[in-house]
Amino acid sequence: MTRLVILISGRGSNMEALLAADLPVEFAAVISNRATAPGLQTAAARGITTAVVDHTAYADRAAFDVALMTEIDRHQPDLVVLAGFMRVLTDAFVHHYAGRLINVHPALLPAFPGLHTHERALAAGVKLHGCTVHFVTPEVDVGPIVIQAAVPVLDDDTVDSLAARVLAEEHRIFPQAIRWFAEGRVSITAGRVLLRPPTGTPHALISPPLDD
């Protein structure tokens, strides 16, 4: 069974979605860079091992990442999952977990990498926004994409309303991506994620909808 280590920085709502999804995985540990992260209590209540590697205790990012890798590797994971982990990781860390480090990002990559995605989507006037689950590579928010979900951007949307709609889709597609990985269906070829067997052909997403 696939062993998961989940990294969080806060409440861990995406972690909760994974825990609730009845995945064919073993949750080996939940690790946070903040001792006050509410998600640690959620994981502990489920009987999952938790740990804290406080980034403020280290002189620089590289030293923190070495300590974090040491803690992660104690649990011998097959996959490391970033579920709201608010730290930029060093190249050494990313290379150490190449092909087994997955993140969920609140935008339709490659659009709007980085922070403040919902504000930027509204400012750009896009008609579709969404979320992406992808493998992590040294360049931030650029790795091979596993799955995406799109939501319409409504005329009266605020940052909060758009963020809430996107988050609901994150909670749907993140468990699906992890399930595919655990089932051995995911492979990376020429920088693209391929699924075995391939999924069906989806319908086009059009927003605003066409007139009848």
**Domain boundaries, given as residue ranges, for the chain:** 1-97, 104-212
The token pair at 79 is 């996959």
Distance (Å) of CA 172 to CA 121, 132, 169, 184: 21, 11, 5, 19
Among residues 164, 140, 168, 182, the alpha carbon closest in space to that of 17 is found at 168
- Give pLDDT, residue 98: 97
Burial group, residue 7, by CB count within 10 angstroms (0-12, 13-18, 19+): buried
pLDDT digits (tens, 9 = 90+) for 127-140: 999 999 999 999 99
In this chain, the answer to whether the domains covering 1-97 and 104-212 adopt an identical fold is yes
Q: Tell me if the domain spanning 1-97 has CATH number 3.10.20.30.
A: no
Question: Residue 3: is its pLDDT beyond 70?
Answer: yes
Distance (Å) of CA 42 to CA 8, 117, 147, 174, 200: 11, 27, 26, 18, 36
Q: Which residues are catalytic?
A: 105
Q: Tell me if the domain spanning 104-212 has CATH number 1.10.3430.10.
A: no
**Residue 168: which residues within 8 A CB-CB, separation 6 or more?**
none
Who has greater pLDDT, 198 or 165? Answer: 165
- pTM of the predicted protein model: 0.96
Rounded to a whole number of angstroms, the CA Rg of the chain reads 17
pLDDT digits (tens, 9 = 90+) for 51-64: 999 999 999 999 99
pLDDT digits (tens, 9 = 90+) for 82-100: 999 999 999 999 999 999 9
Q: Percent of the chain at pLDDT above 70?
A: 100
The token pair at 73 is 């590797």
